[in-house]
Structure 1
Amino acid sequence: MDTEKQHTLPPDGAAASHHSSRSSSQVGVTHSSSSPAVQCPAHTTPARITTKIDLHLVPFLIILYLTAFLDRVNIANARTFGLEADLGLTSLDYNTALTIFFVPYILCEIPSNILLKRFSPRIWLSICCLGFGIVTICQGFVQNYGGLLTTRFFLGVFECGMFPGCFYLLGMWYRREEAQKRFSLFFGSTSLAGAFGGLLAGAIGKMDGVRGWNGWRWIFVLEGAGTVVIGLIFLLTFPGFVEDAKWLREDEREYIKARLHADQGHSAADKKITFKDFKNVMKDPKVWLGGLMYFGLIVPAYSYAYFSPTIVKTYGFSPIMTQLRSVPPWAAAFVFAMVVAVVSDWAKHRFLFAIGPICVSIAGFAILLNVHHNLPVQYFALFLICMGTYSAMPIIVCWFNMNLGGHHRRAIGSAWQVGFGNIGGIISTYSFVQSDAPLYKKGYSICVGFICLSAVSCILYAFVIMRENKKRTRAGADQGLTESEKAELGDLNPEFRYML
């Protein structure tokens, strides 16, 4: 995906000189001048190696998270095909079924990333994929409300590792200036899942009555079965960390590790994560701001994912047409997110590319709060909400994750951001209740409030890292630290510079 003009990255000493002359909003890791240049193996080029990584890593992550997100939100599609009536759900039962998913999902994020590092991404993420695929199939056989709650709970148990684990893995392969396109392409699988889920539900819904089953049961069974097949394949083929990649030559592996070291500092890949590491990471206020940035966007994101078919249905469409009408906003969101990501990587900047889409999303909710009798305009507002929210989220996650240095700080920090942020998922499940239909003013207002929280957190985070960069530049890079101490510090290393 990327084209690199030179086969040799600048020596660390040159990087030090270069970064000291740049503004504090730029990025860099400076090291001692005695460090050697990062030399690309003679048989290949940097661009070819990057493309090789893309082909061996990104498609797996996209497919994995597409299936996870599809199995998570297909309950919204099932709802339009009679799930509530068949199971005798009343009042807020549907909302509670959505909520219970997030309980284990939130609590198990950090333990899951620790287990991922211990067992390898291939083993751990593939097992999780098999697990939530089987649970999704089981959802198709539930006979009552209790059964639905049980399956949603275990869906959260198995899906908890998908999002932070995949972002963690991406962050251990790419430099910061080339990461956003990959993060957004991976995150775009949520948009693809939304679009594909609508099309798939529309097609599967036509099986309503086959073998005496209503359409919503077929949605769960068929989509879950597809996930199980994918999980079995991934158990044999899923990629891992750079240190374990057998599809790389030894000199290629060393080159990738060296250029990541030049960009992000020491990874400390061989260091076990301890409870002391967890405490040290959680003392950093930047980590809490990273969680708040994501938390603020989760509420509108899950509100849209879980309730957009319900909102579209209030416009007077049939169940099949409701599914089909839900597809275009997701497709537009994927395209917009990739455009934002490409420009963000080109500019080597994240902050403004997070704030811009946030404003787009706010505009969409503002329209829905004020326009109630113009269906084309209301439908257009759904495009703005989906495009803005699902473009800002990957920017925020990539920005925060790639500003964390070292395996242990990134493993803990990325899981914390996603785990804490998904508390917003609980709020979203009760933001849109049936008694507020069809205007849903309360739900739209809640979403706007949380988006504003995300925007404020982004501004504070930008201020903190700019101040830290200036402080480190004034103090100078030579702090007399050993290589082991630098690895232990990660992005707290005085030589590290945060990306704005």
Structure 2
Amino acid sequence: MTALEHKSSSSLSEDRRDVTSPDVEKQYNLAPYGNSEGGDYKLRFPNIDEAKVVRKIDLRVVPVLCVLYLLAFLDRVNISNAAVFGLKQDLNLAGNQFNTALVVFFAPYVLFEIPSNALLKHFKPHVWLSLCMFLFGLITLLQGFVQGLGGLIATRFFLGVVESGVFPACFYLIAMWYKRAEAQKRYSFFFSSTTLAGGFGGLLASAIGKMDGLRGYRGWRWIFILEGLVTCLASIVLYFTISDFPEEVAWLSAEEKEFVKARLYEDVGHSKRHDPLTVKSVLEVFKDWKIIVGGFMYFGLIVPAYSYAYFAPSIIQSLGNGMIRTQLLSVPPWACAFTLAMLTATVSDWTRMRFVFVLIPTAVALAGFVILLVVHDNTHLQYGALFLAAMGTYSAMPIIVCWFNTNLGGHHRRAVGTAFQVGFGNIGGIIAVFSFLAKDAPKYIPGYSICIGFICLSVLANTVYFLGVSWENRRRDKLQAQGAYDHLSQDEKKRMGDLNPDYRYFR
């Protein structure tokens, strides 16, 4: 071999080890069947301890995103705590004006989901997410200085703009680190930031509310000012701690980066991380009927979820509790929701099943809202029903999003699919904020009825999705046995993501 040939060979070898190359996945040619564990990628990396690498990812990726989303959700729903401390009276909000201020948040929140996820592909996640975090913290802080309905509507609108990219971006980022069989616990832990935020919000509001009158500001203003300030300061820390995509982080060795990409490639196929996201590629994703159904799966539970998040403090107060006691009583249902969500997620990952673990907590939520609909003379039972409503709703939602998100293969389909599911689903927030009107208090019969109806819609959509992916798995088994896909190379299949005929959906 000549020196030139030797140099060329060495250079080629180095190129193959370069994890930043968009084509590095081409060397991994195993197809993701229903059981993606124990794959051949482990044999190619004998010096890598998979459990150790996953633990490292767990410590670096999920906790930071949990802090981010906890503060995002807290800044979004702390207006419900502020309402208990006199926001409506001080701003002279009459009739449905408070509901109008709430609904303004959702218009930009829905519209900017997909554009925001597209921007995530152009900016590094730690830059984009920390910037969004600083902005929604600043807007929350400014919300503490509004003087009327106009100011409140303006701040809520811009809060919706900057928060629109946070949730789908975080789910999308997590999906690029974990295999489908191990993702649910991580998704539920992340999603349960909402329940922690709800509990935190009640505790903080009960403490901050005691600052009422300090420096001439009412207690509800201090809720916005202090929680917004904390978010701004946290965004600076998170700029340095949020992890980017696997091939971009500095805390993995070169071999570990290749290992992470190999295990994900074996599970879901080619990531297409470096392919541009165009209007044509976005429209191509929407040709898949499962994308549309995925939106309705989430949409159905958003209505009861936001109904609870925005109006639970008012409902608890209507049971005869004072302001401070109301805030404290709002905490236990959130804590129980977190516990059930993590228990359900753990068992779901262990059994590798999703559908049944959507139905069980959904039934719990349905029972809670039915009790609230029909019982109006037993405050203890009504308060207990709030536990069921929160536990069921906030345990089913992360499984729905994880199930749908991780069944999608590749950056494009996950970025667009997740953003659509979350964006379309959050239209339910518009319905939720007008479901519980002041004129319907304290029974809120229309509101509870609407929640029950949308829970049933979610069950229907989840059933359609379950039957659809089950049929698709059987169809691919049959066609594969007939040799219908023998003309496709392994590389061609891998680049198809979850449309790969060798791919089997989680059910």
TM-score (norm. length: structure 2): 0.92
Counterpart code for 1:455: V
Structure-2 residue corresponding to 1:465: 469
- Find out whether 1:57 has 2:61 as its counterpart: yes
Offset, 1:461: 0.2
Structure-1 residue corresponding to 2:502: 495
Alpha-carbon separation, structure 2, partners of 1:378 and 1:296: 23
Counterpart code for 2:360: G
Judged with a 3 Å threshold, the aligned counterparts in structure 2 of structure 1 residues 313 and 190 are, in CA distance, closer, same or farther, namely same
Alpha-carbon separation, structure 2, partners of 1:311 and 1:298: 18
Instruction: Report SS of the residue matched to 1:360.
Output: helix
Q: Which runs of 5+ in 2 are unaligned?
A: 1-26
Q: For 1:414-429, list aligned pairs within 5 A.
A: 414-429=418-433
Offset, 1:232: 1.1
Instruction: Report SS of the residue matched to 1:271.
Output: coil
- Find out whether 1:139 has 2:146 as its counterpart: no
Judged with a 3 Å threshold, the aligned counterparts in structure 2 of structure 1 residues 294 and 43 are, in CA distance, closer, same or farther, namely same
Offset, 1:235: 1.7
Alpha-carbon separation, structure 1, partners of 2:472 and 2:80: 44
Structure-1 residue corresponding to 2:302: 298
Offset, 1:489: 2.3
Structure-1 residue corresponding to 2:361: 357
- Find out whether 1:310 has 2:314 as its counterpart: yes
Pick the aligned partner of 1:166 from 157, 170, 178: 170
- Structure number with greater Rg is 2
Contact (CA 8 Å) 1:27, 1:499: kept in 2 or not?
no
Offset, 1:485: 3.8
Pick the aligned partner of 1:102 from 101, 106, 109: 106
Counterpart code for 1:486: K
Contact (CA 8 Å) 1:29, 1:262: kept in 2 or not?
no
- Find out whether 1:287 has 2:291 as its counterpart: yes
- Find out whether 1:207 has 2:214 as its counterpart: no
What is the aligned residue count?
Answer: 478
Offset, 1:269: 1.0
- Find out whether 1:46 has 2:50 as its counterpart: yes
Structure-1 residue corresponding to 2:323: 319
Pick the aligned partner of 1:330 from 330, 334, 344: 334
Alpha-carbon separation, structure 2, partners of 1:50 and 1:328: 32
Instruction: Report SS of the residue matched to 1:126.
Output: helix
Alpha-carbon separation, structure 1, partners of 2:86 and 2:408: 45
Q: For 1:61-210, list aligned pairs within 5 A.
A: 61-210=65-214
TM-score (norm. length: structure 1): 0.93
Offset, 1:276: 1.0
Alpha-carbon separation, structure 2, partners of 1:214 and 1:13: 63
Offset, 1:483: 5.5
Alpha-carbon separation, structure 1, partners of 2:60 and 2:182: 16
Q: Which runs of 5+ in 1 are unaligned?
A: 1-10, 20-25
Offset, 1:39: 3.4
Runs ≥4 in structure 1, deviation > 4 angstroms? 11-16, 26-30, 40-44
Contact (CA 8 Å) 1:278, 1:412: kept in 2 or not?
yes
Pick the aligned partner of 2:257 from 253, 257, 269: 253
Pick the aligned partner of 2:487 from 463, 467, 480: 480
Alpha-carbon separation, structure 1, partners of 2:486 and 2:443: 59
Contact (CA 8 Å) 2:29, 2:266: kept in 1 or not?
no
Contact (CA 8 Å) 2:75, 2:228: kept in 1 or not?
yes
Contact (CA 8 Å) 1:28, 1:497: kept in 2 or not?
no
Deviations 1:394-437 (A, max 9, x none): 00000000000000000000000000000000000000000000
Aligned-residue identity in percent: 56
Structure-1 residue corresponding to 2:9: none
Instruction: Report SS of the residue matched to 1:119.
Output: coil
Alpha-carbon separation, structure 1, partners of 2:223 and 2:41: 54
Structure-2 residue corresponding to 1:5: none
Contact (CA 8 Å) 2:30, 2:40: kept in 1 or not?
no
Pick the aligned partner of 1:384 from 388, 391, 407: 388
Counterpart code for 1:492: L
Judged with a 3 Å threshold, the aligned counterparts in structure 2 of structure 1 residues 249 and 40 are, in CA distance, closer, same or farther, namely farther
Structure-2 residue corresponding to 1:398: 402
Offset, 1:82: 0.7
Offset, 1:488: 4.3
Alpha-carbon separation, structure 1, partners of 2:457 and 2:35: 26
Alpha-carbon separation, structure 2, partners of 1:229 and 1:473: 53
Contact (CA 8 Å) 2:365, 2:389: kept in 1 or not?
yes
Q: Please report the RMSD computed on the Cα atoms of aligned residues, expressed in angstroms.
A: 1.8
Contact (CA 8 Å) 1:302, 1:425: kept in 2 or not?
yes
Deviations 1:282-329 (A, max 9, x none): 111100110000000000000000000000000111111000000000
